[in-house]
Structure 1
Amino acid sequence: MTQLGEIQQAILNGESAALGSLPVPESYRGVTVHASEVDMFEGLESRDKDPRKSLHVDEVAVPELGPGEALVAVMASAINYNTVWTSIFEPIPTFKFLKKYGKLSPLAKRHDLPYHVVGSDLSGVVLRTGVGVHNWKPGDEVVAHCLNVELEGPDGHNDTMLDTEQRIWGFETNFGGLAEIALVKANQLMPKPDHLTWEEAASPGLVNSTAYRQLVSRNGADMKQGDVVLIWGASGGLGSYATQYALNGGAIPVCVVSSPEKAAICRKLGAELIIDRSAEDYKFWKNGTEQDPKEWQRFGAKIRELTGGDDPDIVFEHPGRETFGASVYAARKGGTIVTCASTSGYLHQYDNRYLWMNLKRIIGSHFANYRESWEANRLIAKGLIHPTLSKTYSLEETGQAALDVHRNAHQGKVGVLALAPQEGLGVRDEEKRAKHIDGINAFRGA
């Protein structure tokens, strides 16, 4: 049996405490992109770029373990949109991030390689910890949030997301979670929710924490009870958590989706006010350069029809260019548009009169700090927020999983098994699981 096989077997046999005495292998399988292929999609539209061609499963060397770091045996991971961006080399190839990071210090130089092991989610078991780590030990079952910070300057000590050396692990750093072993900073680790399987526990990390900061935190929209919250893509990887937070926090979600099937998922979560964009046939853009304010008005009227006359207090934005003009228009006077992404394009256009004359605010929100991530994970662990996993792939099928996300052919989150040989493993509290099983399975098979 290989060294990695021994590690896998110890975890599956419930003998994780023995991992500290097992040797760490010299190499492992990871999902990579190659620096030599960054021009492979040149001339193609974004939608035509195929992650199955650029994502590889390679045998790569286990990186040196530095102070304050941990090596984790990855049982499962998940697909985020940043893996799609990495796979299609947009908006820039991630090797530029790795090269810049590599200049920071001799230790950071490890990340500047001709291959990039991707992935910003994981669930697994700690294999080794570096010098100075005292909160975690080999054998601990963990999940990881994706905030990588140095915190050597003053800017990040009020909010770590403002650190001058803030990066997203597995996107702007190497040795990510779509692999059999991952390298993380120890302050990325959080306890694995004990009622979830490996693949369920791996799926919330990035999107759950992002939605928490964007919607709930004082660093984001600071949502309160009774707020009307317009949520774009409300059944998707990010929006499905925003929908849960709105419902859990006493707000009133207005869920925007693109099909009857996605509308049904939102109703399953408990949402009542739903707009099916496809059925309503909104066309916010007349052409590639000109928007249609009459469509904004028609959209706003539909929202008020559903809410009994109220405009949204908060607009949960992430599609970007396609929807941003409508979002600024739709928010109530004094309302907030909070944005964390631009999956349909980064160059936003909106009519500033609706912003300044109505005292609206646009807030930029990016991932979450450690405290926010911990609070978001705690709500998962308590069964107050649930994973939105709909489908799971093998490590070898990661390219197909990323293509599904790229083409929006998925619901909720798409998981990837690493060392876990099959779905359904890793549950430690069956009683708690039984209590929340309907919520846990809300997206399964969708």
Structure 2
Amino acid sequence: MTQLGEIQQAILTGEAAAVGSLPVPESYRGVTVHADEVDMFEGLESRDKDPRKSLHVDDVPVPELGPGEALVAVMASAINYNTVWTSIFEPIPTFKFLKKYGKLSPLAKRHDLPYHVVGSDLSGVVLRTGVGVHNWKPGDEVVAHCLNVELEGPDGHNDTMLDTEQRIWGFETNFGGLAEIALVKANQLMPKPDHLTWEEAASPGLVNSTAYRQLVSRNGADMKQGDVVLIWGASGGLGSYATQYALNGGAIPVCVVSSPEKAAICRKLGAELIIDRSAEGYKFWKNDDEQDPKEWQRFGARIRELTGGEDPDIVFEHPGRETFGASVYAARKGGTIVTCASTSGYMHQYDNRYLWMNLKRIIGSHFANYRESWEANRLIAKGLIHPTLSKTYSLEETGQAALDVHRNAHQGKVGVLALAPQEGLGVRDEEKRAKHIEGINAFRGA
């Protein structure tokens, strides 16, 4: 049996504490992009770029463990849109991030390589910890959030997202979670929810924390009871968590989806006010250069029809270019548009009269700090928020999983198994799981 096989066996047989005495292998399999292939999609439109061609499963060396860091045996991971961006080398190849990071210090130089191990989610078991790590030990079952910070300057000590050296692990750093072993900072680690499988526990991390900060936190929209919240892509990776937070927090979600199947998922979550923008034929752009304000007005009227005459207090915005003009128009006077991601394009256009004359606010929101991520994970662990996993792939099928997300042919989150040999493993609290099984499985088979 290989060294990695011994580690896997110890975890699967309930002897995870023993991994601290087992040797760490010299190499592991990871999903990578290659620096010498960054021009492979030149001349193609974004929608025509195929992650299956750029994502590889390679055998790569285990990185040196530094102070304040941990090596984690990855049981499962998940696909986020940043992996799609990485795989199609947009908006820029991530090797530019790695090169810049590599100039920071001799330790950071490890990340500047001709390959990039990607992925910003994981669930797994701590293998080793570096000097100065006290809260975690080998054998601990964990999940990881994706905020990587240095905190050597003052800016990040009020909100770590403002650290001048803030990066997203597995996107702007190397050695990410779509792999059998990952390198993280110890302050990325959080306890694995004990009623979830490995793949379920891996799936919320990035999107759950992002939605928490964007919608609930004082750093985001600071949602309160009774707020009308317009949620774009309400059954997707981000939107499915925003929908849950709105419902849990006493708000009134207006869920925008693009198919009857996605509408059905929102209803399953408990949402009642739903707009199927494909069925209702909303086209916010007349052509590539001109938006259609009449469509904004029709959309706003539809929202008021559903809410009994109320405009949204908060617009949960992440599609970006395609929807941003409508979002600014639709928000109520004094309302908030909170935005991240821009999956349909970064160059937003809107009519500033609707913003300035109606005293609306646009808030930029990016991932979450450690406290926000911890709170979001705590809600998962308590069964108050549930994973939105719909489908799981093997590590070798990561390219196909990323293609599904790229083409929006998925619901909720798409998981990837690493060292877990099959789905359904890793549950430690069957009683709690049974209590929440309907919520846990809400997206399964969707």
TM range (shorter): over 0.9
Residue 199 of structure 1 and its aligned partner are, at CA, apart by 0.0
Q: How many Å apart are 1:256 and its aligned residue?
A: 0.0
User: For residues 44 and 34 of structure 2, what CA distance do their matches in structure 1 show?
Assistant: 18
Give the SS at the match of 1:253: strand
Distance 1:341 1:52 in 2: 22
Instruction: List per-residue Cα deviations over 1:132-181 (Å, max 9, x = no partner).
Output: 00000000000000000000000000000000000000000000000000
| Distance of 2:268 and 2:151 partners within structure 1 | 42
Instruction: Provide the C-alpha distance between the structure 2 equivalents of 1:131 and 1:191, rounded to a whole number of angstroms.
Output: 20
Task: Find the aligned partners of 2:21 and 2:325 in 1 and give their Cα distance.
Answer: 57
Aligned-residue identity in percent: 97
Q: How many residues align?
A: 446
d(CA) in 2 for partners of 1:366, 1:17: 35
* 1:208-233 Cα shifts (integer Å, max 9, x gaps): 00000000000000000000000000
Cα separation, 1, equivalents of 2:437 and 2:250: 22
Equivalent-residue separation in structure 2 for 1:204 and 1:18 (angstroms): 28
- Structure 1 residues without counterparts, runs of 5 or longer: none
* Aligned equivalents of 1:216, 1:340: Cα separation in 2: 14
SS at match of 1:23: coil
- Tell me by how many angstroms 1:193 deviates: 0.1
Could you tell me how far apart the structure 2 residues matched to 1:358 and 1:278 are? Answer: 29
Deviations 1:361-399 (A, max 9, x none): 000000000000000000000000000000000000000
Q: Deviations over 1:46-103 (max 9, x none)?
A: 0000000000000000000000000000000000000000000000000000000000
For residues 231 and 87 of structure 1, what CA distance do their matches in structure 2 show?
27
Q: Which whole-Å CA distance do the structure 1 matches of 2:327 and 2:44 have between them?
A: 30
Unpaired runs of 5+ residues, structure 2, are: none
1:108 shift after superposition: 0.1
- 2-structure distance, mates of 1:278, 1:16: 48
State the Cα deviation string for residues 330-362 of structure 1 (Å, max 9, x = none).
000000000011000000000000000000000
Q: Distance in 1 between matches of 2:85 and 2:283?
A: 26
Q: In 1, Cα distance between the equivalents of 2:372 and 2:20?
A: 30
1:233-288 deviations in whole A, cap 9, x for unaligned?
00000000000000000000000000000000000000000000011100100000
Q: Following the alignment from structure 1 to structure 2, what is the Cα–Cα distance between the partners of residues 231 and 56?
A: 34
Deviations 1:106-155 (A, max 9, x none): 00000000000000000000000000000000000000000000000000
Q: 1:277, 1:120 → 2: CA distance?
A: 30
Q: 2 CA distance for matches of 1:163 and 1:102? A: 17
Residue in 1 aligned with 2:115? 115
CA distance in 2, matches of 1:397, 1:278: 30
- Aligned equivalents of 1:66 and 1:215: distance in 2? 35
- How far residue 11 of structure 1 moved from its aligned partner, in angstroms, is 0.1
Displacement of 1:190 after TM fit? 0.0
Tell me the alpha carbon deviations over residues 402-441 of structure 1, each in whole angstroms, 9 at most, x when there is no partner.
0000000000000000000000000000000000000000
| Runs of 4+ in structure 1 over 4 Å off | none
TM-score, structure 2 normalization: 1.00
3-state SS of 1:234 partner: coil
What is the rounded CA distance, in whole Å, between the counterparts of 1:289 and 1:278 in structure 2?
21
Output the CA distance in 1 between the equivalents of 2:421 and 2:147: 28
Tell me how far 1:15 sits from its aligned partner: 0.3
Q: Matched residue of 2:414: which SS?
A: strand
In 2, Cα distance between the equivalents of 1:63 and 1:187? 18
CA distance in 1, matches of 2:237, 2:284: 23
SS in 2 for 1:271: coil
Secondary structure in 2 matching 1:414: strand
Question: Distance in 2 between the 1:434 and 1:21 partners?
Answer: 34
Mapped partners of 2:145, 2:383: distance in 1: 18
Alignment correspondent of 2:411 = 411
**Correspondences of 1:344-359 after superposition (within 5 Å):** 344-359=344-359
Deviation at 1:185, TM superposition (A): 0.1
User: Cα RMSD between the aligned structures?
Assistant: 0.2
Name the counterpart of 1:362. Answer: 362
Instruction: Give the whole-Å Cα distance in 2 for the aligned partners of 1:230 and 1:221.
Output: 12
Task: Give SS of 2:278's match.
Answer: helix
Q: TM-score, normalised by structure 1?
A: 1.00
Partner of 1:296 in structure 2? 296
Instruction: State the partner residue of 1:206.
Output: 206
**2:361, 2:333 → 1: CA distance?**
10
Q: Distance in 2 between matches of 1:74 and 1:349?
A: 41
Paired position in structure 2 for 1:432: 432
Partner Cα distance (1:279, 1:131) in 2: 57
Q: Tell me the distance in 2 between the aligned counterparts of 1:136 and 1:94.
A: 30
SS of match in other structure, 1:390 = strand
Give per-residue Cα distances to partners, 1:7-43, cap 9 Å, x unaligned: 0000000000101100000000000000000000000
Shift of 1:301: 0.1
Q: What is the DSSP-based 3-state SS (H/G/I as helix, E as strand, rest coil) of the residue aligned with 1:278?
A: coil
Secondary structure in structure 2 of the residue aligned to 1:183: strand
